[in-house]
Amino acid sequence: MSIRTLISILLLNISVSIHSQMVTVSGYINDAASGERMIGATVYEKNSLAGTVSNNYGFYSLRLKRGQVDLVASFLGYEPVQVSFTVTRDTVIHFDLELSAKQLDEVTVTASMRQSKVESAQMSMIDIPVSKFIKLPVLLGESDVLKVIQLLPGVQSGTEGTTGIYVRGGGPDQNLFLIDGVPVYNASHLFGFMSVFNPDAVKSVQLYTGGFPARYGERLSSVIDIRMKEGNEKELKGNFSIGLISSKLSLEGPVIKDRTSFIISARRTYADILARPLIIWQNHVEDMNSAGGYYFYDLNAKINHKFSDRSRLFLSTYAGRDRAYFREKDSYEYYSDEEPVNYEYIDRFSLGWGNVITALRWNYLFNSKLFSNTTLTYSRYNFDITSESIRKDLISNTSSTDLFRYFSGIRDVAAKVDFDYYPAPGHSVKFGAAYTHHVFRPGVTRFKYDQGTGAAAIDTTFGDAKIFANEFIAYGEDNFDLTPRLKINAGLRLALFNVEDTSYLSLQPRISMRFMVTDNFSLKASFSRMAQFVHLLTTSAISLPTDLWLPVTQRFGPPLSNQVAIGSGFRLPWNLEMTVEAFYKTMENLIEYKEGASFSGTGSGWESKVEQGRGWSYGAEFLIEKTVGKTTGWVGYTISRSDRQFANLNFGRVFPAKYDRRHDVSIAITHKFSDRIDLGAVWVYGTGNAATLGIMKYPADNFMYNYVYSYNDITEYVSRNNYRTPSYHRFDIGVNLHKQKKNGIRTWNFSVYNLYNRRNPFFIFWDSQYEMIPDPANPGSYTFESSTVLKKVSLFPVIPSVSYSFKF
């Protein structure tokens, strides 16, 4: 089909919609119990089979012929609602869906029950049901959105136990995390072992790994779009839970019934509080005065108000912070040359990082076909580390100070407007624009040494420079049925990024197509070009707060990717759906630290520390899903390869990406035995990670003047990521025991992580092994013989955990 034909059909489509005798039925789909707007619920007309899906704010709009209509709204796990009426003009119908009395166990499934992957033009997108992921077994009893995402095809996990994700061969900086549409720069708590997304506040999670709609951009490899709950409009509800690491409390309810509601969700770790008595005891025993600890907290809060059916305002915020601290006080009192000396020493150290995100959002319905969302957002991430030693001379009343402080951060203020337009049956358009003002503080380092004697103090600050950047975005995407079997989502994203004297304009075409071969089998294809305007400087295998976001520069332009994917969807017996996708992705302008370079406490001059290169990845993904019934879950398999090439790394030779993994398998199952018991199980398998392993050694020379210090020999690694660690696999199982109490439902969760105690490799290293050999010359005595052996270090053995929660 030529482009001219395509455009003609498109114009015809629009033209028909304008001039035909069609009417629009629109409205919101809500949870009847809480009033929460439902994202991705299906609305279809039974006779014409015209249908649509509610948007991120629960709004739907459907163009129908005048006359008798039988309109059905449905959502997974809810009783479908049918409304029959004669429609003669534009009509507003809101649906309130009730949880199925039989919940998920005996629901009759219809093709229109949910937006089936077989039918959707969107590919490489997975909708993760929150109700499911909280039933899966978890490490240390802490449910985590990102750890569930790690189980999906196309997604590789990073270091075991952490929340790092690597999508289709991309790096950790290539994932866009959105909370209610606002980017989160550091999604990690606890050095990456937990994510910042509190599951109690999460309403929906969508993961895009390819075929990106034009409304998304700014990262090369994935979009994780997390929407938070809005708050129960009907009655006050709550939930609290106690786990091994943290405790959580959520409250939601109406401020003005059916008009204004709120939700507030908070959690905090308490290792520092539990350790306090031990520290006090230790201070007492060792005659010390010290204190230290680590904690994180986060808070999600949202309030919304309905002015009318057309207008609704949301104010939401997220604030989270990790903090490690230590302080010690000591004093010395003695006589020196018969003069009294009395000193007090105070040492302080603190390390903290966190995000603050705020969004003010206004939904406005211009008419039944045009929905708008206007948002003002603020996002801030900062990191600081302070070390200070103070010595006070209590006799002369003077003091000296030795201070080191480093801080860095990024701050965004943005405004954007998005429109959803429904011009015709089977035709919807999304378009919008955004402006973001970025302020980067790549790293400010301050050293101060003041001896308190009146002598000049050393007080030096490096890197105290802000970098300002402006980003303009405009996009449009058209989702339409070209023929009854061929559905297309075509879009274009335009991004203009300006930083200091440099501007980059990026045109990013996107297209996804679905062709229904039969009612149960579809073929899909997509292409997407992505650009991102920030670099992440990271040196480590885990997410460190020292990871530094920096804007693109003249020398290091925006990373770009082109990704093509083809796939198909099958509807199988027993309510199973299968999707198969193959992808090929190229990435340009990637950066990595130079060999020998690392985080040095200042972001200035970073360009001299990095190399620019390219990467590519390709693979195939298989997913079989079952989303309804007593037993639900998925089986995923990925075969893929991801390589990098940098002119000045690895001597210019191609090397495997850090998380290149040939095979990845995951099986995640939940089964509901009754209202009181459900069970979750997970099995994962992955090819071993790439590791840089030394194979040779050679003597070092440090060029001192007269003699060589006895350093160990240098290890020669030959090539980056030249070795594969043993494969990774484990089996987790968990059971939830629910009981209806007078005021709510209590749940005990018992989980076992790594049930068969697989010793998965965390890292490998060479070591010496000594063997006792009987000495034939001296019977009864032994000699030692040493040999070099390769060892692996494993982290998590079998780990049981328990948590308690109460929902009221």
Instruction: Tell me which residues in 163-222 interact with other proteins (CB under 8 A).
Output: 190-191, 193
Segment lying near other proteins (by CB under 8 A), choices 6-14, 355-363, 533-541, 559-567: 533-541
- The owner of tokens 């495997």 is 656
Segment 290-329, which members bind other proteins (CB under 8 A)? 290, 292-294, 324-326, 328
332/468 with CB nearer other proteins:
332
Min dist CB 111 to other proteins, Å, is 45
Segment 380-439, which members bind other proteins (CB under 8 A)? 385, 387, 391, 400, 404
Q: Which of 454, 596, 776, 779 binds other proteins (CB under 8 A)?
A: 596
How many residues sit in the footprint of other proteins (CB under 8 A)?
109
Could you tell me if 230 and 36 are in contact, meaning their C-beta atoms sit under 8 angstroms apart?
A: yes
Min dist CB 663 to other proteins, Å, is 16
> Containing H/E element for 282?
helix 271-286
Within 10 Å of residue 440's Cβ, how many Cβ atoms?
22
Within 10 Å of residue 627's Cβ, how many Cβ atoms?
21
What are the structure tokens assigned to 799, written together? 């780990």
Segment 219-248, which members bind other proteins (CB under 8 A)? none
The whole-angstrom separation of Cα 22 and Cα 368 is: 12
Segment lying near other proteins (by CB under 8 A), choices 127-135, 620-628, 727-735, 791-799: 791-799
101/287 with CB nearer other proteins:
287
Segment lying near other proteins (by CB under 8 A), choices 127-135, 359-367, 583-591, 693-701: 693-701
The whole-angstrom separation of Cα 775 and Cα 773 is: 6
Min dist CB 169 to other proteins, Å, is 18
Within 10 Å of residue 626's Cβ, how many Cβ atoms?
18
Q: What are the backbone dihedrals phi and psi of residue 220, each rounded to the nearest 5 degrees, phi first?
A: -85, -35
Segment 752-781, which members bind other proteins (CB under 8 A)? 759, 761-769
397/706 with CB nearer other proteins:
706
| Half-sphere exposure of residue 797: CA atoms within 13 angstroms, side-chain side | 1
Segment 647-666, which members bind other proteins (CB under 8 A)? 658
Q: Which of 17, 489, 546, 670 binds other proteins (CB under 8 A)?
A: 546
270 scored as a contact of other proteins (CB under 8 A) = no
12-46 as b/e: b if 16+ CB within 10 A: ebbeebeeeebbbbbbbbbbebbbbbbbbbbbbbe
Min dist CB 795 to other proteins, Å, is 5
Distance (Å) of CA 326 to CA 58, 346, 388: 48, 11, 11
- The owner of tokens 């720069």 is 185
Segment 435-464, which members bind other proteins (CB under 8 A)? 445, 447, 449, 451, 453, 455-456, 458, 460, 462
Segment 139-168, which members bind other proteins (CB under 8 A)? 161
Q: Which of 11, 12, 696, 737 binds other proteins (CB under 8 A)?
A: 696
The whole-angstrom separation of Cα 123 and Cα 665 is: 20
Draw the binding track, 711-740, toward other proteins (x: CB under 8 A; -: no contact). Answer: xxxxxxxx-x-xxx-x--------------
Draw the binding track, 556-595, toward other proteins (x: CB under 8 A; -: no contact). Answer: -------------------------------------x-x
Segment lying near other proteins (by CB under 8 A), choices 26-34, 60-68, 478-486, 695-703: 695-703
629/694 with CB nearer other proteins:
694
105/611 with CB nearer other proteins:
611
Segment 63-122, which members bind other proteins (CB under 8 A)? none
Q: Which of 105, 347, 481, 588 binds other proteins (CB under 8 A)?
A: 347
Q: Which of 276, 653, 697, 741 binds other proteins (CB under 8 A)?
A: 697
| Local structure of 261: helix, strand or coil | strand
Min dist CB 457 to other proteins, Å, is 11
Query: Exposed (0-12), middle (13-18) or buried (19+): which is 632, by Cβ within 10 Å?
Result: buried
Segment 603-622, which members bind other proteins (CB under 8 A)? 604-605, 608
Within 10 Å of residue 720's Cβ, how many Cβ atoms?
21
308/702 with CB nearer other proteins:
702
Q: What are the backbone dihedrals phi and psi of residue 51, each rounded to the nearest 5 degrees, phi first?
A: -150, 165
328/588 with CB nearer other proteins:
328
Draw the binding track, 479-518, toward other proteins (x: CB under 8 A; -: no contact). Answer: ----------------------------------------
Q: Which of 517, 700, 772, 773 binds other proteins (CB under 8 A)?
A: 700
Q: Which of 65, 79, 794, 806 binds other proteins (CB under 8 A)?
A: 794
Nearest Cα to Cα of residue 736 among 775, 678, 655, 691: 678
- The owner of tokens 């030096």 is 460
- CA angle, 287 as apex, 282 and 291 as ends, to 5°? 50
The whole-angstrom separation of Cα 68 and Cα 234 is: 33
> Containing H/E element for 280?
helix 271-286
The DSSP line for 639-682 is EEEEEEEETTSGGG--EE-TT--SEEEEEEEEEE-SSSEEEEEE
293/629 with CB nearer other proteins:
293
Nearest Cα to Cα of residue 143 among 206, 207, 198, 188: 198
Segment lying near other proteins (by CB under 8 A), choices 44-52, 217-225, 356-364, 539-547: 539-547
Extract the runs of DSSP E, i.e. beta strands, from 542-609.
548-551, 560-572, 576-593
Q: What are the backbone dihedrals phi and psi of residue 676, each rounded to the nearest 5 degrees, phi first?
A: -100, -25
Within 10 Å of residue 249's Cβ, how many Cβ atoms?
15
2/786 with CB nearer other proteins:
786
